[in-house]
Structure 1
């Protein structure tokens, strides 16, 4: 017999899963969060739930917000279960469930006035974001904020009725400034190098289109701490819902399955206050950059490294990719020979041990993370996770055979079919453009590099062009499996 997740049923669920030990009725909103997806509910919301269970800080509960019409589906599914979420942590020898209760409300997406009103509320002292790497209006090649994007231009023209997260944040800040209320801290939790700086550039960049004095005020008065966040959290499907009902007897409209490991490194820059997250494992540091670069290059870069060869070999799950010797050895060779050697030292951290941890996490058979998810949005992820490593190596006079092959595999994937001829469904906001370029690149590899907004100066570097062109040509001549063998045997 299963039990529907809601506040009234928590006593019945308590013998199957951990439930909040605090009085949810005593919670008060202190954080507004844009992007209530799986990662947020498996990460930030879990840390806050841990903190509330530890006693105190009950004035830091979460109010959700969104800007996409699709966000309404998540809102409705969470609303009927009183904003509760079941989080299932899974390892090879472990499966445990908990119900988190850190969220107390979720503003209807598209209700601009309600969102601005909440942002102007003095109780809201932090605004956090998980809106994905592609949601920051960053030019892929320059990695700078793009003030010419039509969404940004529209918000600048009518900041009284903004449509983007950054327009809403700026609108809320303007209301607080005009009312003499201290600004909230803006905290990005997305996997972007210097995510705090990137967020500041977006908010201040939009402000500059409206009034240079407003932009200067944002720079002077609003805090944007950088952070590094980590927890492998796959998408929820019918598979996860059925597993939750079968293994724990809980009916949850949108449960989250994730690994047991989680990490949050955060710069301690919160002028309006913050929850005492250090009590529950958050690491506060003066500079998050070394931790962030390590994670983005080694973990996120590692995901990109295994994603495309696995997809081209018709492998479905990430742990299955790690069970394929060619993919696992490819990952290790690229990491140990090309990525790790150019990652700067990280305080109190062994990069080799960090990679070994990554290897174990990728190999977790319980997670059910899909190769399709790792392949998603390569046009935004390659310029952040792979191409910077290649640029750094070339600047140091070092080779990029493996990293160029990673990008060539991405190009081959965007052709739209696997080595067996199985069609690949569109998996990028720019899929039509990428597919057209990949088809041209089959005969002329430089047609792929011609996307200057993605490759930037790398497209003009003779060493990179030669390595990429040879890798892509080899993929078309002999296929993914044989190309990996040649690379592993130093014959590529």
Structure 2
């Protein structure tokens, strides 16, 4: 199957370079929508400038569902459809920066072999926020997780991406091949540091000497990545079909994108600054701004919007009460704890986020934002609460956000409509929400989410008050009380 044919609309942009001249340089694990709308697009833009054609992508995956994505992309010569959606129109393009996709195998032999190839100088990852085996209580890598223990016991047949990275680095060291750089593109604080802990921690279980070598010789640059990219469904496939593109896995996204990287690539890197990437040693400031304001903002509108009947993100932003709640929490409880970066003050960044969330063309869903709260809350909301409490600053709206999440996890809307499971721990959260209706502190006892916050009398009192109001007077009146 070819994406580009006689029926393809002339409005569809095509790779502006000869793909036959590309050669492999990067293995990327996790070919989801975000990667194909982000890293793959930056490289496509770079190649179109006639630069760095020896840095093409080879896709990879370590989960069974990745095999389906491989089959779909291989069938279309590893091309991807990316359609930017704005309020003024659509911009479809075909991305050609990926040239192959390694076979997905249970013990990851083909992946290890590709990473061992001397031409591989970067291994990049998008394996989701929850894919780094971090103990939520200690906030450090968990070497006791069964997946990691299995890789420690059978290092030559790894099941995880980190076990595969370790196996490839072992082989490269034995062959005298320099180590590749491991570059996380996941949306977690200090993603490079977290990835280093996961790789060295996995190695230490089977080969402590190798773990020390990795710590000394492998670069793990921190990064901040950003682009709103909805999941693919019938709507997205229909948009692609409108342009004569028969793609089962097209990607739609907003026009905005951002990538901030530490410049730590001992084996070289593509000149991504020529495609708009910011290289800086202040990644953490960018990261804090994005995670607190954008990702935290998603959580703020997610549960209030869902419980008030909103299905789409722009619909929630157009809801007067949800929008007023979003603005008040951001302005009074989030922004005071965010540092400016060269491009933005926190106030200017909030205005950008307000505009991006309100984009009616993207069709991002509230349900997607509500997904996996047990993994997202401790990263996107709880740090702002902790900073506010430490500073003696307002946290009322953030406490209400926690109460709205708890109310959402009760599993029903106010009219009794069931909420479909939307968290890996959904059943446990539903049971805990029922318990919290009578004993609110039970919800805060989730140490993996709240840490020691359950012991903070101020926050626990605010949470209990808001949760009681949500149950006694309903969502609308409760949010109105906060907004004033």
Shorter-chain TM band: over 0.9
Q: Which stretch of the first structure deviates more once superposed, 307-316 or 382-391?
A: 307-316
Q: TM-score, normalising length from structure 1?
A: 0.96
Distance of aligned partners of 1:361 and 1:5 in 2 relative to their CA distance in 1, 3 Å threshold: farther
Task: Report the count of equivalent residues.
Answer: 483
Listed one character per residue, the Cα deviations across residues 292-340 of structure 1 (whole Å, up to 9, x for unaligned) are 1100000000001000011112211000000100000100000000000
Distance of aligned partners of 1:30 and 1:451 in 2 relative to their CA distance in 1, 3 Å threshold: same
Q: What residue is the counterpart of 2:355 in the other structure?
A: 360
For 1:73 and 1:254, the matched residues in 2 are separated by 11
SS, match of residue 64 in structure 2: coil
8 Å CA contact 2:27–2:59 kept in 1: the answer is: yes
8 Å CA contact 1:10–1:19 kept in 2: the answer is: no
For 2:182 and 2:225, the matched residues in 1 are separated by 15
Instruction: Work out whether 1:383 is the aligned partner of 2:378.
Output: yes
Alignment of 1:68-217 (within 5 A): 68-110=63-105, 112-217=108-213
Alignment of 1:47-58 (within 5 A): 47-58=42-53
For 1:141 and 1:304, the matched residues in 2 are separated by 21
For 1:213 and 1:464, the matched residues in 2 are separated by 46
Q: What residue is the counterpart of 1:470 in the other structure?
A: 465
**Among candidates 274, 283, 286, match of residue 279 of structure 1:** 274
For 1:401 and 1:361, the matched residues in 2 are separated by 25
For 1:145 and 1:479, the matched residues in 2 are separated by 40
- Which residues of structure 1 form unaligned runs of 5+? none
SS, match of residue 10 in structure 2: coil
For 2:207 and 2:142, the matched residues in 1 are separated by 17
Q: Tell me the CA shift for residue 138 of structure 1.
A: 1.1
SS, match of residue 257 in structure 1: strand
Listed one character per residue, the Cα deviations across residues 95-151 of structure 1 (whole Å, up to 9, x for unaligned) are 110000111111122252111110100100000011110111112233211111111
For 1:229 and 1:371, the matched residues in 2 are separated by 21
- Which residues of structure 2 form unaligned runs of 5+? none
**Among candidates 221, 239, 243, match of residue 243 of structure 1:** 239
Instruction: Work out whether 1:436 is the aligned partner of 2:431.
Output: yes
Q: Which stretch of the first structure deviates more once superposed, 108-117 or 326-335?
A: 108-117
Instruction: Work out whether 1:344 is the aligned partner of 2:332.
Output: no
Q: Tell me the CA shift for residue 460 of structure 1.
A: 1.1
Q: What residue is the counterpart of 1:331 in the other structure?
A: 326
For 1:408 and 1:260, the matched residues in 2 are separated by 33
For 1:262 and 1:348, the matched residues in 2 are separated by 14
Q: Tell me the CA shift for residue 365 of structure 1.
A: 0.3
Q: What residue is the counterpart of 1:319 in the other structure?
A: 314
SS, match of residue 229 in structure 1: strand
Instruction: Work out whether 1:415 is the aligned partner of 2:410.
Output: yes
For 1:176 and 1:118, the matched residues in 2 are separated by 11
Q: Tell me the CA shift for residue 92 of structure 1.
A: 0.4
**Among candidates 276, 298, 304, match of residue 309 of structure 1:** 304
Distance of aligned partners of 1:418 and 1:170 in 2 relative to their CA distance in 1, 3 Å threshold: same
Q: Tell me the CA shift for residue 348 of structure 1.
A: 4.1
8 Å CA contact 2:9–2:244 kept in 1: the answer is: no
For 1:419 and 1:108, the matched residues in 2 are separated by 47
CA RMSD after TM alignment = 1.2
Q: Which stretch of the first structure deviates more once superposed, 406-415 or 208-217?
A: 208-217
8 Å CA contact 2:292–2:381 kept in 1: the answer is: yes
For 2:128 and 2:2, the matched residues in 1 are separated by 28
SS, match of residue 414 in structure 2: coil
